[in-house]
């Protein structure tokens, strides 16, 4: 009964706010690591894309390789953007990216700025994750442990790729992705390697690497260090948070976040996977939302954060883009 009441309230609200999220250009969702479109009937952007469409947004979902290098994912996203532009006839698109997807979205805006209206990173991995360097320290290159564990993880995510997109979320379906590699992901998201990547694609990044300020312990970087909100005609936005565990009933919090914490230094603010200060890009909407890296895409199945309607953040942002003429 409660769910039915909530659905009715949403429908009434959407009807009274027709076009609230109807942006000038389509919205393209860019997933992070462990990416998928829809698997076993569950969307990566759980409840988020449905809500955006309910309020009038035209939304297209991309599926990049689950665990792969930035270069591989960049090329996949490039092909997806070209296909979506052709399918829709749009001159530009708005990119909304989560986690590692932030790195690919920034690349796309750098190489084809005339086709990108805006880039928004949600809990973006703009400074990498210390989990990757900790993982590599615990499982050295060429070790027996690596030879045992890496194929198991790769196999699991290859299976996720087989499931992804059947059915699909929305009117666009990415091509089936190739072989997954946890070792490629660990290299791609190591903070030192991301710093090199950032030197190639620095647009809209804060002027100072937040990890050099008190070793990242401040979390929310001073606005004096924020990046440029507009670069080469592309508008940049970001938001993030500083919570680690938000619901004891959420298996991601109980299992994965606990596992990750064993590899991450304890002296800085983080969101359960990446440093909070690394969320900042362009115009910062907020960096201290009280939910974690996985709540940001409304997982697990909306259990993650009980005190905020996560899809509403995306609906409000779509309205922000609309009001900016995007």
Identify the pLDDT of residue 1: 45
Q: Distance between CA atoms of 90 and 75, rounded to whole angstroms?
A: 20
Parse the chain into domains and list their residue ranges: 19-323
Q: Exactly one of 21, 65, 66, 99 is catalytic; which is it? A: 99
Q: How open is the CA angle 292-17-50, to the nearest 5 degrees?
A: 45
Classify residue 285 as exposed, middle or buried by CB count within 10 Å of its CB (0-12, 13-18, 19+).
middle
Confidence of residue 267 (pLDDT cuts 50, 70, 90): confident
What is the C-alpha separation between 270 and 272, in angstroms, rounded? 6
pLDDT tens profile 196-213: 999 999 999 998 887 777
Give yes or no: 104 in active site: no
Please give the pLDDT value at position 94: 98
End-to-end Cα separation, the chain, in angstroms: 38
Q: How many CB atoms are located within 10 Å of the residue 8 CB?
A: 10
Q: How confident is the model at residue 5 (pLDDT cuts 50, 70, 90)?
A: very low
pLDDT, tens only, 268-290: 788 999 988 899 999 999 988 99
- Render pLDDT for 157-170 as a digit per residue (tens, 0 to 9): 999 898 888 889 99
Answer yes or no: 293 catalytic: yes
Class of the CATH-defined domain 19-323: alpha beta
Are 29 and 296 contacting, i.e. CB atoms less than 8 angstroms apart?
no
* 17 assigned to active site: no
Task: Summarize pLDDT for 15-24 with one digit per residue, the tens.
Answer: 457 799 999 9
Contact status, residue 133 vs residue 190, Cβ threshold 8 Å: yes
**Cis, peptide link before residue 123, omega less than 30° from 0:** no
Give residues with Cβ within 8 angstroms of 40, minimum separation 6.
163
Q: Per the residue annotation, which of 130, 279, 293, 317 is the catalytic one?
A: 293
Q: What is the pLDDT of residue 6?
A: 47
- Residue tagged 């708005």 (tokens): 94
80 vs 11, 118, 175, 231, 268, CA distance in Å?
A: 31, 16, 8, 22, 36
Contact 169, 43 (CB under 8 A): yes
What is the CA angle 114-318-101, rounded to 5? 60
Mean pLDDT (the chain, rounded): 89
Q: Say what the pLDDT of residue 253 is.
A: 87
How many Cβ atoms are within 10 Å of 33's Cβ, its own excluded? 23
Which residue, chain included where needed, has tokens 């190489």?
A: 111
Q: Which residue in 80, 242, 271, 295 is the catalytic one?
A: 271
Higher local confidence (pLDDT), 254 or 38: 38
Residues making up the chain, counted from first to last: 326
């Amino acid at each position: 009964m409660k769910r039915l009441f909530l659905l009715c309230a949403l429908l009434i609200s959407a009807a009274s706010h027709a076009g609230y999220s109807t942006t000038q250009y389509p919205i393209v969702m860019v997933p992070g690591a462990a990416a998928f479109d829809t698997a076993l009937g569950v969307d990566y952007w759980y409840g988020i894309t449905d809500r955006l469409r309910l309020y009038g947004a035209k939304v297209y979902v991309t599926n990049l390789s689950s665990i792969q290098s930035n270069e591989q994912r960049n090329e996949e996203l490039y092909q997806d953007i070209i296909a979506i532009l052709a399918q829709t006839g749009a001159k530009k698109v708005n990119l909304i990216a989560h986690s590692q997807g932030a790195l690919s979205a920034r690349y796309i805006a750098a190489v084809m700025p005339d086709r990108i209206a805006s880039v928004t990173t949600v809990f973006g991995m703009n400074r990498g994750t210390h989990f990757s360097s900790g993982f590599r320290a615990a499982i050295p290159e060429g070790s027996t442990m690596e030879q045992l564990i890496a194929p198991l993880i790769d196999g699991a995510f290859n299976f996720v790729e087989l499931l992804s997109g059947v059915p699909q979320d929305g009117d666009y379906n990415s091509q089936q992705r190739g072989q997954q590699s946890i070792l490629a992901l660990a290299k791609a998201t190591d903070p030192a390697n991301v710093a090199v990547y950032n030197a190639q694609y620095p647009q809209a990044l804060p002027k100072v690497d937040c990890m050099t300020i008190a070793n990242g312990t401040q979390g929310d970087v001073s606005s004096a260090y924020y990046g440029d909100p507009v670069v080469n005609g592309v508008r940049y936005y970001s938001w993030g948070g500083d919570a680690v565990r938000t619901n004891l009933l959420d298996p991601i919090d109980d299992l994965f976040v606990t596992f990750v914490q064993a590899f991450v230094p304890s002296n800085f603010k983080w969101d359960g996977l990446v440093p909070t200060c690394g969320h900042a890009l362009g115009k910062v909407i907020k960096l201290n939302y009280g939910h974690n890296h996985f709540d940001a895409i409304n997982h697990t199945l909306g259990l993650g954060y009980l005190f905020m309607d996560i899809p509403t953040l995306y609906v409000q942002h779509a309205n922000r883009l609309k009001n900016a003429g995007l």
